[in-house]
Amino acid sequence: ALMLSGSLGLAQLRIVGAVSGIIEDPTGAVVPNAKVVLKDVKTGLTKETTSSERGTFFFPDLASGVYEITVTAPGFQTAVVSNIVVSTSQTTDVRVRLEIGQMTETVEVVGGSSPVLETTSQLVVSTIQKETITRLPLANRSNVLALARLAPGAAPATGGSTRYNNLAGGALNVTVDGINNASNGFKSGGTVFYMTVPVRLGAVEEVTIETGGLGADSGAQSGTNIKFTTRRGGSEYHGSLFYEPQSEKFNANTWARNAQGLPRVRFRRHDYGGNFGGPLLPFGPFKKKMFVFVNFERRLQPMRVASTVTVPTPEAQRGIYTYIVSGTTDQVRTVNVLELAAAKGLPTRLDRVTQAILALHNEVPKYATPIPDNDLNRDTYAWDEENNLYQYFPTVRFDYHITPGQQFTFTWNYYHSWQPGQRRLPVPGVNRVNPFRLGYFIWSMALQSTISPRTFNEFRYGVQHSGDTNTRAEYGLYYQFEGKPLRIGTTLPFNVVVPFIDQQNVTGRHYITTIYDTLTLHRGEHTLTLGGSFRKTVWNDTAEVFPLPTYTTGTPSGDPLQAATAFTTTTIPGLNPTQLGEPLALYNLLVGRVAAANFTRVVNPKTFQYDGFINYTWTNSLMGGVYAQDRWRVTRSLTLNYGLRWEIQGPMKDGQGITAVPDMASVLRGDAPLLYVGRVPYKTDWRNLAPNFGFAWNPSRTSGLWGKFLGDAKTVIRASYGIIYYDEGTQFFAANLGPNVGKFVNAIPLIPGQPGQTNLPAFYTLSDIVANPLTVHSFAFTTTEYKKVINQADQTFARTINGFDPTLRAPYTINWNFGVQRELWKDSVLEIRYVGNTSKLSWRTSNLNEVDIFGNGFLEEFKNAQRNLAINQAAGVNSFQYRGLPGQVPLPIFDAAFGARGGVPPIAPGSGYQNPTFITQLQTGAAGALATTLATNPNYVCRMFGSAFSPCLRIDPRYNAPGPYPINFFLPNPYVAGRLGYVDDTGWHSYNGLQVQLRQRLRRGLTWTTNYTWSKSLTNLAVDNQNQSLDFLTVRNVRLNKRVSPFDLRHVLQSFGTYDLPIGRGRWVSINNRILNAVIGGWTLGSIFVFQTGAPIQLTGGFQTVNNTNNPAANGVWLAPGVTRKQIERMFKAPLQRLTGRAGITDLQRLAVDRRLIGPDGRANPQYLIPNSTPGEFGQLIFLRDRNTFQWDVSLTKEFQLAERTRLELFASFNNVLNHPRWGFPNANVFSTTFGVVGAPTGNRTINLRATLSF
């Protein structure tokens, strides 16, 4: 007899499973010293052990697949247990009961599919095997990762940046064959749910998702593991070929294009390839030792990019500008801009460079289609530019069974993508720009050793490589004229396209190295695993910086020729004043006028001088740990799992040692910060102990009420508690510290007609550059000396800084779960579990330099300024200056910010008391926004502080008198004079959820899983971007940041699986007629259905009434008196309504709220919702729920048996089979004139076809 009794989790990075068992005699007594032989059905290879004194045996480090066990013992019949399924990270428990008899007698038992009850494990795991994967309705062959969203706790389950149980993005670890395949540069944000090297459908053996109950061996830098295992070769040769076309002709049109009467967007894609596996050598002694599997897939996607370009009309190219007289619709006039310029004494010679570029534009009409427009001076042309996508994906797996006790495995996955780029003009001879090529790979090697019958070891080493090797310069480096480089940007004046643009080579070299070793000791009822893991991230990006100047075309700043005076409403009568820039731009184009020249130099890490022309962004990080984990089978029905991991997090650092890191002690004191080049931003974190404990109890009751409830070993009660440490992506370092001062230096721009290192003439043209190009020696630089210690006071007003908390810790999550599993019928189980977790020390980037309006009296002065403004406006004066009118009060802070200081005169009225922006901010209560301007703009800062603030003397020595206010009046550190991005570990997340799952293993053709999750997710870090960048609402009260998570989906229902229709040869309704069977037999249905309630959406519309935070919660609103949030929720559930007669609204948009909620101007009706304009207050934080959504995908598979070992499989998937459009959430900004309006819906039915020939 046989009992398959669940699975023990082996949830580490490892991709192996195990078989554990106990041998009993007919009375239930254990049988020691029995011989146990395990056979891998795929390869035919065997392993052997003997049962212990307590009758147990254990086979660890097994590849996924189907196995067979043979048990022999003196006095008993030989027992053969077949069809034992082993899956990644799980141990299949087998109970074998021997019958009395001769060993020559054999009892064969078919074990059936893998067990559904998890009798010895607390691991929350879901596994989808290749037979199911290939028949589920996937959108395409690169979409295998989407299957991981089907695990309970995934949110959102329908797409996007998915999280599990509201864990932080950095806690998700995607692996291929045990090696990290996530983006370790961008672990948070849009690349959380992401594979660097896409795993293709033909290469996948199974997908395993672990979301809870992880042990010490699994807490290697992750709280959730998504594991992909590559298929392997066996003792027989098998292979397949496939072709998978996609076309817009198969798909339904989108709602929006149907509404516009437009056809479907052209979309073509061709995937084809195949795989082959078996013995590496067809004969000889290695035939049964070496096995190989190869999968190769190629993708061709013809792409036509809709492109447009404007070409000046022939008249415009002669200088004739055409316009419609303002106030009329049909009165057309022309002027000659060259004649107007000549009348002002300006040069009018046509520039040779411009004429050459225009000559290319004049060829466009031969190769493009004109598009009607209302532009009288430019013609618009359209064409479809070819930019085909070419990709291929080879996969190799090699297994070498060196001895019965040693196995070597090597896998390699590669991803190559290439696009040749696009032309900027559809003219022969114009080179393409921006070609894009990448070559990613991931490989792993493992050595599994059986040291003794009860001692095993696995060593695994692997590398992931990514990086966009964008060799853009293969078509040229930059635009050239007559062989001379001319870096003039992307467009010339008058919107004329430059035919070729700068093509700096950009190279990424990203290597993530993973190493781990696991020693497994099976001693009595204990299975002890000891080991460690290590991961090193090397994220190296380089970008070329050309050793050439860049030029800006147009009118120079402070134009000494005053060319604009030639083009006025006097010289061009009837021209709308807002269009005066057009004739000036046409003149600048024709004469090729240059407005400025610039030059950039970067530091050379070899010399530490500004003599380099490669910009290095190199970041390294390390993380690793050691652990011990024990599985103690206390009794046959109770198993304890417990362990301890010690995790060590190393600091991120610059691999070239050229990044400047601020001294945070001086920053926090408010002193002028010093930045130290090459300093490590935070220390190694050694204090990370991660214990875990769990149990699984499989009670057996056969009588009474408990017997009916529990069944005979048909119920499992299990629970766990554990701590998991993880790390964040290197972009936290690169994106925050990378922009700090020191890596590059800009030249002082050369402005024509103004003094400089090289005095350029006032009228300087592109032809002048060609005749006499500028060089690096033509420029003076802000500094020439490279400094390893930089004083921020020398950069104030020019550069801000970013820093790290020097005591930064490794983030971690505490997770716990309690669940009950009950077998309902054969091969089915229902599980109800409570899952909870809290993540702490999550990294966030926020602004440490928050502007203050409370402790300095500015808030009260702001309110006084509001009163002054109202009184002045009532008197017909648009100013908030104190004028002595009744009710007005003096404004000493504003007087200081706008008045004279030392030798600097008072600021102009238009920049002071009559500043229209300031007046608007007073009217809207934006005290924080106005204070931020006063705190960061040197024109106001230096009038307030004067010589007391040293940077003011640096920018203008005339600030030679001290101001009346302390320099930290507004900002904690005024030397930063703006945002101070600060990475700390103050983030947290929490999750509490009820998860119900019904699993049906393959039985009578049906494999099905349905799960339901009811949960609540909270956080103080409600953001989803690569650096978790979100300011505190205010650093004065960090508790105000608690709110629902963006991933708080209260209800999610998922149901998926496949069903073999019971018609056909070998099925319930057997058909022996070959032709009839070919028609109606061999059909399989697949389905994925997902329903989820809406995500939280915040109503916004307030103003910066308190500070300079980027937290959207600062833009709160007020409910009108007597209005409740429930009322607003109901009004947001109104039926969609057409909008007619509203300016700026198209027929693709709909009103998605009750019309009573909309005011006459399109903004929110103030009887219900009011934008917050109260200075010093944030307003209410009001969250509503997005619409509920569902997605139903269906697949259909038809199998034709062509020969005994050859079959043809036709597959079709219908994604969004009901063609159900998905409307988004309407505009939630109550101050917007389109409040409550929603754009066109997304989602259309797509059909994916595939033909596979297997042999």
Pairwise CA distance, residues 1129 & 1133, whole Å: 7
Pairwise CA distance, residues 965 & 959, whole Å: 14
Pairwise CA distance, residues 817 & 992, whole Å: 10
Pairwise CA distance, residues 88 & 864, whole Å: 69
In a domain, 824, yes or no: no
In a domain, 963, yes or no: yes
pLDDT the model gives residue 8: 40
pLDDT the model gives residue 190: 66
**For the residues 756-783, what does the mean pLDDT come to?**
95
Give how far Cα 295 sits from Cα of 130, 140, 290, 820, Å: 14, 16, 17, 41
Task: Give yes or no for residue 914 having a pLDDT over 50.
Answer: yes
**For the residues 1117-1137, what does the mean pLDDT come to?**
95
Pairwise CA distance, residues 801 & 792, whole Å: 8
**For the residues 1162-1183, what does the mean pLDDT come to?**
95
Query: In this predicted structure, which of 121-130, 235-244, 564-573, 681-690 has the lowest mean pLDDT?
Result: 121-130
Pairwise CA distance, residues 1121 & 1228, whole Å: 20
Percent of the chain with pLDDT over 70: 97
Please report, for the domain that includes residue 63, its CATH number. 2.60.40.10
Q: What is the pLDDT of residues 544-584, one digit of tens each?
A: 899 999 999 999 999 999 999 999 999 999 999 999 999 99
pLDDT the model gives residue 703: 74
Of the candidates 1129, 1133, 1053, 1045, the one whose C-alpha atom is nearest the C-alpha of residue 1095 is 1045
**For the residues 323-337, what does the mean pLDDT come to?**
94
Task: Give yes or no for residue 1083 having a pLDDT over 70.
Answer: yes
Looking at the DSSP bridge assignments, the partners of residue 1011 are 997, 1054
pLDDT band at 1; cut points 50, 70, 90: very low
Q: What is the pLDDT of residues 773-783, one digit of tens each?
A: 999 999 999 88
Q: How many helices (H) and strands (E) does the chain have?
A: 18, 67
Which of 83, 115, 147 is the last residue in one of the domains?
115
pLDDT band at 469; cut points 50, 70, 90: low
Give the chain's mean pLDDT: 92
Residue with tokens 């979409």: 143
Paired tokens of 936: 């960061």
In a domain, 1062, yes or no: no
Composition of the chain by helix, strand, coil, percent to 5: 15, 40, 40
Q: Are the C-beta atoms of 674 and 791 separated by less than 8 Å? A: yes
Phi, psi of 249 (to 5 degrees): -65, -25
Paired tokens of 577: 């004043």
Q: Between 518 and 468, where is the model more confident?
A: 518
Which of 115, 130, 160 is the last residue in one of the domains?
115
Task: Give yes or no for residue 104 having a pLDDT over 90.
Answer: no
Task: Give yes or no for residue 709 having a pLDDT over 80.
Answer: no
Which of 906, 938, 968 is the last residue in one of the domains?
968
Query: In this predicted structure, which of 138-152, 182-196, 485-499 has the lowest mean pLDDT?
Result: 182-196
Pairwise CA distance, residues 400 & 291, whole Å: 7
Query: In this predicted structure, which of 172-181, 404-413, 1058-1067 has the lowest mean pLDDT?
Result: 1058-1067
**For the residues 253-267, what does the mean pLDDT come to?**
93
Q: What is the pLDDT of residues 630-654, one digit of tens each?
A: 999 898 889 999 999 999 999 999 9
Pairwise CA distance, residues 135 & 1060, whole Å: 10
The radius of gyration of the chain's CA atoms, rounded to the nearest angstrom, is 36
Q: What is the pLDDT of residues 433-459, one digit of tens each?
A: 999 889 999 999 999 999 988 899 999
pLDDT the model gives residue 7: 41
Task: Give yes or no for residue 1250 having a pLDDT over 90.
Answer: yes
How long is the chain?
A: 1255
pLDDT band at 5; cut points 50, 70, 90: very low
Pairwise CA distance, residues 200 & 194, whole Å: 14
Q: What is the pLDDT of residues 1006-1051, one digit of tens each?
A: 999 999 999 999 999 999 888 899 999 999 999 999 999 999 999 9
Paired tokens of 1032: 């505190």
Task: Say if strands 432-433 and 332-336 run parallel, antiparallel, or are unpaired.
Answer: unpaired
Query: In this predicted structure, which of 120-124, 690-694, 755-759 has the lowest mean pLDDT?
Result: 120-124
pLDDT the model gives residue 489: 94
Q: Are the C-beta atoms of 478 and 485 separated by less than 8 Å? A: yes
Pairwise CA distance, residues 702 & 684, whole Å: 56
Q: What is the pLDDT of residues 396-439, one digit of tens each?
A: 999 999 998 899 999 999 999 999 999 999 999 999 999 988 99
Is the pTM higher than 0.75?
Answer: yes
Q: What is the pLDDT of residues 594-636, one digit of tens each?
A: 999 999 999 999 999 999 999 999 999 999 999 999 999 898 8
Beta-carbon contacts of residue 912 (< 8 Å; ≥ 6 apart): 881, 894, 897, 898, 906, 918
> Containing domain of residue 29, as a range?
2-115
pLDDT the model gives residue 12: 45
Give how far Cα 673 sits from Cα of 197, 784, 789, Å: 42, 21, 10
Pairwise CA distance, residues 497 & 478, whole Å: 14
Overall number of domains in the chain: 2
pLDDT band at 222; cut points 50, 70, 90: confident
pLDDT the model gives residue 112: 47
Task: Give yes or no for residue 90 having a pLDDT over 90.
Answer: no
pLDDT band at 6; cut points 50, 70, 90: very low
**For the residues 753-757, what does the mean pLDDT come to?**
94
Beta strands in 98-194 (DSSP E): 106-110, 124-129, 154-155, 163-164, 172-176, 179-180
Task: Give yes or no for residue 131 having a pLDDT over 60.
Answer: yes
pLDDT band at 922; cut points 50, 70, 90: very high
Pairwise CA distance, residues 176 & 397, whole Å: 12
Beta strands in 98-135 (DSSP E): 106-110, 124-129
Pairwise CA distance, residues 622 & 651, whole Å: 7
Between CA 1071 and CA 1088, with CA 114 as vertex, the angle to 5 degrees is 70
Of the candidates 807, 872, 868, 896, the one whose C-alpha atom is nearest the C-alpha of residue 843 is 807
pLDDT the model gives residue 470: 62
DSSP 593: B
